[in-house]
Amino acid sequence: MPGLIERYRERLPFAPNDPVVTLHEGSTPLVAAPFLSEQVDARVYLKLEGANPTGSFKDRGMTCAVSAAVREGARAVICASTGNTAASAAAYAARAGLRGVVIVPDGKIATGKLAQALMHGARVIAIHGNFDQALTLVRALADSHPIALVNSVNDFRLEGQKTAAFELLEELDGELDALCIPVGNAGNVTAYWKGFVESASAPRLLGFQAEGAAPLVRGAPVAAPETVASAIRIGNPARWEEAMAAMTASRGAIRAVSDEEILDAYRLLACREGVFCEPASAASVAGLLKYGAEGARTVACVLTGHGLKDPDTALNQDHAVIACEAEIGALERVVLG
Name which of residues 280 to 299 contact ligand F0G (CB under 6 A).
280-281
Does position 21 interact with ligand F0G (CB under 6 A)? The reply is: no
Does position 185 interact with ligand F0G (CB under 6 A)? The reply is: yes
- Per the CB < 8 A criterion, the answer to whether 271 and 247 are in contact is no
Rounded least distance, CB 181 to ligand F0G, Å: 8
Does position 227 interact with ligand F0G (CB under 6 A)? The reply is: no
Between CA 285 and CA 193 the distance in angstroms is 19
Which residue of 56, 154, 227, 313 would you call a contact of ligand F0G, by CB under 6 A? 56
CA distances in angstroms from 125 to 38, 45, 202, 311, listed in the order given: 45, 37, 40, 22
Burial of 265 (0-12, 13-18, 19+ CB in 10 A): buried
Stretch that binds ligand F0G, among 220-228, 252-260, 274-282, 329-337 (CB under 6 A): 274-282
Residues contacting ligand F0G: total by CB under 6 A: 23
Rounded least distance, CB 61 to ligand F0G, Å: 9
Does position 116 interact with ligand F0G (CB under 6 A)? The reply is: no
Instruction: Rank residues 43 and 278 by Cβ distance to ligand F0G and give the closer one.
Output: 278
Beta bridge pairs of residue 305: 56
Which residue of 183, 244, 262, 314 would you call a contact of ligand F0G, by CB under 6 A? 183
Does position 231 interact with ligand F0G (CB under 6 A)? The reply is: yes
Instruction: Rank residues 44 and 231 by Cβ distance to ligand F0G and give the closer one.
Output: 231
Closest CA to 37 of 219, 301, 302, 281: 301
Between CA 51 and CA 121 the distance in angstroms is 22
Rounded least distance, CB 41 to ligand F0G, Å: 26
Does position 236 interact with ligand F0G (CB under 6 A)? The reply is: no
Does position 187 interact with ligand F0G (CB under 6 A)? The reply is: yes
Rounded least distance, CB 118 to ligand F0G, Å: 15
Contacts of 160 (CB under 8 A, 6+ apart): 4, 5, 12, 60, 61, 62, 63, 64, 65, 191
CA distances in angstroms from 188 to 34, 73, 196, 203, 227, listed in the order given: 26, 26, 12, 15, 19
Does position 275 interact with ligand F0G (CB under 6 A)? The reply is: no
Closest CA to 274 of 24, 26, 29, 27: 29
State the DSSP string of 231-264.
Answer: GG--SS-TTHHHHHHHHHHTT-EEEEE-HHHHHH
Stretch that binds ligand F0G, among 5-13, 67-75, 276-284, 292-300 (CB under 6 A): 276-284
Alpha helices in 18-162 (DSSP H): 34-40, 58-71, 84-96, 111-119, 131-144, 155-161
Name which of residues 239 to 268 contact ligand F0G (CB under 6 A).
none
Instruction: Rank residues 52 and 298 by Cβ distance to ligand F0G and give the closer one.
Output: 52
Rounded least distance, CB 230 to ligand F0G, Å: 9
Contacts with ligand F0G by CB under 6 A lie at 56, 58, 81-85, 152, 182-189, 231-232, 278, 280-281, 304-305
